[in-house]
Amino acid sequence: METVEGTILAGRSFEPVQGRVVVEDGHITAVEETPEREHDQDRIVLPAFVNAHTHVGDSVAKEAAVGLGLEKAVVPPDSLKHQQIAAADDETLIDEMHRTLRFMQRTGSGAFLDFREFGVDGANALREAAEGLDIEDFIFGSDDPAVLDVADGFGASGANDDDFTARRAAARKRAVPFAIHAGEPDATDIHPALDLEPDLLVHMVHAEAEHLERVAEQDVPIAVCPRANRVLDVGRPPIETLLEYTDVALGTDNVMLNAPSMFREMEYTAKTFDLPSRTVLRMATTAGADAVGLDCGVIEPGCRAALLVLDGDSDNLSAVADPVDAVVRRASPLDIERVVC
């Protein structure tokens, strides 16, 4: 048995609890309030982040797309991203992905949902890259339905890129999630994406009321990546409106465009959109886990013990008025005391 003490951001409301988290066999068995004198009041304990949308494969091309738009940077099959990944040898690709995942783990992510290019080989390479790390990999495979032999779900690039009907059917037959990009460059692929009855939509920058009514009816969560949308100059996702219709999770998107730091993504989101800090923290933890059924993203009994422990008395976090605001708007990797996964 292990205990993690401090100010616990507990449950789905992230209400601060002065106490300790009790962990046995990798799972939370209790969240106990204790008198302040019995624990370290300076620690802030929160769920480890769940990065709800990544493309770790382009770790071999960091910042290579500076100044390029969406199509030239990342759109399949001829974008710079796909050229760089195809040109990399297996050893280099796996090593660079491993280093990215290690960075994600060290900066507080306990899980990530990745759209992995290049089919079975791509999914296997990412599995190998994740070996030896305490971060949960959820892989949306691509190309051939056979990728579902090794991946956790299927990830489609966009309904305007190809006919994904057969691959959607394969995911349904396997009872695994089907996710798809939609509404990133414009709105033309949103209705076709929804016709596929996806389990997760990514981006939805150009979503309008007619789309969101269908999203609500189909109960489809959305993953947004506001920093990547800004870098690619495709627009500002209407996060405030999206939240009125469905659950919204936060991701960092392409490694080639942005460091996969959920601290940076949360701060940017909180300071760019009119959102409470608790909403942003939920987007960075619980919402991503719920989208694909991961057993993490919240501190409550029965969940996997994926925890992030911050030094609340660091030079950056000392004297904060509210721990949730501090985590979302101010905290950085330098404030991490440890990651428990």
Distances (CA, A) of 81 to 49, 77, 149, 244, 294: 26, 9, 25, 34, 29
Q: Provide the domain count of the chain.
A: 2
Distance CA 322, CA 324 (A): 6
Angle at 176 between CA 171 and CA 181, to 5 degrees: 70
41 plus 8 within the same structural domain: yes
18 plus 33 within the same structural domain: yes
DSSP 19-59: EEEEEETTEEEEEEE--GGGS-TTEEEEEPEEEEEEEGGGG
Q: Give the rounded distance of the alpha carbon of 37 from its chain centre.
A: 36
Identify the CA nearest to 36 among candidates 7, 79, 4: 7
176 plus 311 within the same structural domain: no
The token pair that represents 44 in the structure block? 């802030």
Predicted confidence band at 73 (pLDDT cuts at 50, 70, 90)? Answer: low
Task: Quote the pLDDT of residue 188.
Answer: 98
Distance CA 109, CA 91 (A): 24
Q: Give the rounded distance of the alpha carbon of 140 from its chain centre.
A: 12
Task: Quote the pLDDT of residue 154.
Answer: 98
Task: Please give the mean pLDDT across all residues of the chain.
Answer: 94
Residue 139 DSSP code:
E
SS3 75: coil
213 plus 253 within the same structural domain: yes
Q: Give the rounded distance of the alpha carbon of 218 from its chain centre.
A: 22
Distances (CA, A) of 248 to 41, 224, 238: 32, 7, 11
117 plus 257 within the same structural domain: yes
Phi, then psi, of 55 in degrees rounded to 5: -130, 90
Distance CA 163, CA 159 (A): 7
Residue 304 DSSP code:
B
pLDDT digits (tens, 9 = 90+) for 4-55: 999 999 999 999 999 999 999 999 999 999 876 555 568 999 999 999 999 9
Mean pLDDT, residues 246-253 taken together:
98
- The pTM (predicted TM-score) of the whole model is 0.95
pLDDT digits (tens, 9 = 90+) for 125-167: 999 999 999 999 999 999 999 999 999 999 999 999 999 999 9
The token pair that represents 205 in the structure block? 């920058």
Identify the CA nearest to 246 among candidates 211, 219, 264: 219
105 plus 145 within the same structural domain: yes
280 plus 333 within the same structural domain: no
Pairing of strands 307-311, 43-47: antiparallel
Match 């949730």 to its residue by tokens.
324
CATH number at residue 17: 2.30.40.10
- Where in the sequence is the domain holding 332, given as residue range(s)? 2-48+297-340
88 plus 221 within the same structural domain: yes
The token pair that represents 332 in the structure block? 């950085």
SS3 237: coil
> Which of 273, 292, 311 delimits the end of a domain?
292
43 plus 66 within the same structural domain: no
Task: Quote the pLDDT of residue 177.
Answer: 98
> Which of 292, 313, 330 delimits the end of a domain?
292
CATH number at residue 255: 3.20.20.140
83 plus 214 within the same structural domain: yes
Predicted confidence band at 212 (pLDDT cuts at 50, 70, 90)? Answer: very high
CB 242 within 8 A of CB 256: no
Angle at 282 between CA 218 and CA 235, to 5 degrees: 70
248 plus 278 within the same structural domain: yes
> Which of 292, 313, 331 delimits the end of a domain?
292
Predicted confidence band at 317 (pLDDT cuts at 50, 70, 90)? Answer: very high
26 plus 39 within the same structural domain: yes
Phi, then psi, of 205 in degrees rounded to 5: -60, -35
pLDDT digits (tens, 9 = 90+) for 89-132: 889 999 999 999 999 999 999 999 999 999 999 999 999 999 99
Percent of the chain with pLDDT over 90: 88
